[in-house]
């Protein structure tokens, strides 16, 4: 009985298999015939491709051949947005259709995405493509670029280093590699990459500016100045280039040249307020260092009028605004050593009129003050007094006064007088209460300086 059933079932199964094979052959012939129409259309013209592909998609919206032909057409024409949508559908079909080249579709999907600025989708597809082929330049370069946009500079440099090894003459690879390294403060490595990028693309202003910044941070001031020279009148980079040029010139005390650069930067028509304020601040600082106080007032007034809380501009304006109208105070704070010492002698004479004054020692170990040990005598008394003249408008603390007291005891002077263009802290004032030290603050100093001015 079992043998009889087997004889019946086997022919039935064979018949079913034969029917399936026939149907698949027929379907294959239809697909082959249909695909040949697409091939024929593609061989004729663009419109024919679109017409035949759309006809097939009207019957089957997920027809892989039609989708692929349209996607490839838009990709070749660099219509990346349209191509992206089609490759997006094809990526889903790859899971069930082994005839599709998944790697090629994934790579083109990523390329369309990055050119359409759909960076999240681009990153995902490039990473998928890299899992299949990690040694392809296009993949590593674009992942490096995307990581740079994400500010993941360590990862960016890693991908771009691989891309550089795969294609050693690509300017963009060296550009973003150099910029990534610069963002990580790896100036020496960044300089090498940017230098190579400029060999490949010598007129790229972004590269020139970045290389200038690297050279500046590496302390190669002359080379940096040369890089910034071609950018000082540039609409985009000009103001920044002028700031760097002026700062380098100030470093070498070329104040006139520095002021020229800052003023050139201020002429840039594309400057935003923040840039204008910074240039005015640096210009004012330059004039102050050059002891051209009158020239510094205008920039400081501009800053305070626009933003009174910008850095210490308001403080500088008060301080140097007063100096601009008080020549003797200016000499006290900013004059050269010989003029300053001469001013100190006049102040001593005002303190002790009608006496004989003999300067025993002038000590200027510290840049912010000098000590003058003076023998003063009259017909009735004689004493040795140490004067400490402090060239600062800030607050003077207790340590400075204690140090003066130690020196008084060391040379066995009778007393000490400490004169400052600023103010003394409460600790300093408390310290001198029971000691023979007089403190003269700015208000009384200004009065003495006015007396000097009156007497000529």
Domain total in the chain: 1
- The parent domain of residue 380 ranges over 337-455
Is 116 inside a domain boundary? Answer: no
Is 425 inside a domain boundary? Answer: yes
Q: Would you say 287 and 259 are in contact if contact means Cβ atoms under 8 Å apart?
A: yes
Q: What is the reported pTM? A: 0.71
Is 360 inside a domain boundary? Answer: yes
Is 199 inside a domain boundary? Answer: no
What are 378-411's pLDDT values in tens digits? Answer: 988 999 999 999 998 889 999 999 999 999 999 9
CATH no. for residue 440? 3.40.1350.10
Q: Would you say 112 and 80 are in contact if contact means Cβ atoms under 8 Å apart?
A: yes
What are 68-82's pLDDT values in tens digits? Answer: 999 999 999 999 999
Is 420 inside a domain boundary? Answer: yes
Q: To the nearest 10°, the Cα dihedral for 86, 89, 95, 100?
A: -20
Q: Would you say 337 and 364 are in contact if contact means Cβ atoms under 8 Å apart?
A: yes
What local confidence, expressed as pLDDT, does residue 357 receive? 93
Is 117 inside a domain boundary? Answer: no
Whole-Å CA distances, 94 to 70, 80, 83, 90, 235: 16, 20, 16, 6, 49
What local confidence, expressed as pLDDT, does residue 455 receive? 66
CA-CA distance, 47 to 219, in Å (whole number)? 61
Is 265 inside a domain boundary? Answer: no
What are 256-304's pLDDT values in tens digits? Answer: 999 999 999 999 999 999 999 999 999 999 999 998 999 999 999 999 9
Is 47 inside a domain boundary? Answer: no
């Amino acid at each position: 009985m079992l043998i009889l059933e087997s004889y019946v079932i086997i022919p039935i199964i064979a018949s079913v298999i034969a029917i399936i094979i026939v149907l698949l052959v027929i379907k294959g012939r239809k697909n082959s015939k249909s695909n040949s129409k697409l091939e024929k259309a593609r061989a004729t013209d663009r419109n024919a491709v679109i017409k035949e592909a759309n006809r097939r998609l009207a019957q089957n919206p997920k027809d892989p051949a039609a989708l692929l032909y349209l996607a490839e057409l838009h990709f070749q024409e660099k219509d990346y947005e349209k191509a992206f949508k089609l490759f997006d559908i094809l990526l889903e079909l790859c899971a069930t259709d082994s005839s599709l080249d998944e790697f090629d579709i994934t790579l083109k999907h990523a390329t369309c995405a990055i050119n359409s600025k759909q960076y999240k989708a681009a990153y995902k597809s490039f990473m998928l493509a890299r899992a299949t082929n990690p040694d392809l330049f296009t993949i590593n370069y674009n992942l490096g670029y995307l990581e740079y946009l994400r500010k993941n500079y360590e990862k960016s440099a890693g991908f771009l280093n691989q891309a550089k090894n795969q294609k050693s003459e690509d300017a963009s690879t060296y550009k973003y590699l150099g910029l990534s390294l610069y963002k990580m403060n790896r100036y020496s490595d960044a300089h090498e990459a940017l230098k190579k990028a400029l060999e490949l693309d010598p007129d790229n202003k972004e590269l020139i500016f970045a290389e200038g910044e690297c050279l500046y941070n590496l302390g190669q001031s002359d080379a940096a100045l040369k890089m910034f020279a071609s950018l000082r009148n540039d609409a985009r980079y000009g103001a920044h280039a002028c700031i760097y040029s002026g700062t380098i010139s100030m470093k070498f005390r070329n104040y006139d040249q520095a002021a020229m650069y800052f003023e050139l930067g201020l002429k840039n028509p594309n400057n935003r307020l923040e840039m204008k304020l910074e240039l005015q601040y640096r210009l004012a600082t330059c004039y102050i260092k050059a002891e051209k106080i009158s020239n510094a007032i205008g920039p400081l007034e501009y800053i305070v009028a626009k933003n009174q809380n910008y850095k210490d501009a308001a403080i500088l304006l008060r301080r140097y605004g007063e100096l601009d109208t008080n020549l003797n105070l200016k000499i006290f704070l900013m004059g050269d050593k010989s003029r300053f010492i001469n001013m100190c002698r006049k102040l001593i004479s005002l303190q002790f009129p009608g006496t004989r004054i003999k300067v025993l020692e002038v000590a200027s170990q510290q840049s912010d003050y000098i000590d003058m040990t003076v023998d003063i005598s009259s017909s009735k008394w004689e004493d040795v007094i140490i004067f400490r003249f402090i060239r600062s408008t800030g607050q003077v603390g207790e340590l400075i006064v204690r140090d003066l007291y130690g020196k008084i005891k060391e040379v066995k002077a009778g007393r000490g007088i400490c004169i400052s263009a600023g103010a003394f802290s409460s600790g300093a004032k408390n310290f001198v209460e029971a000691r023979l030290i007089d403190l003269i603050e700015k208000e009384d100093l200004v009065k003495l300086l006015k007396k000097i001015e009156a007497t000529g």
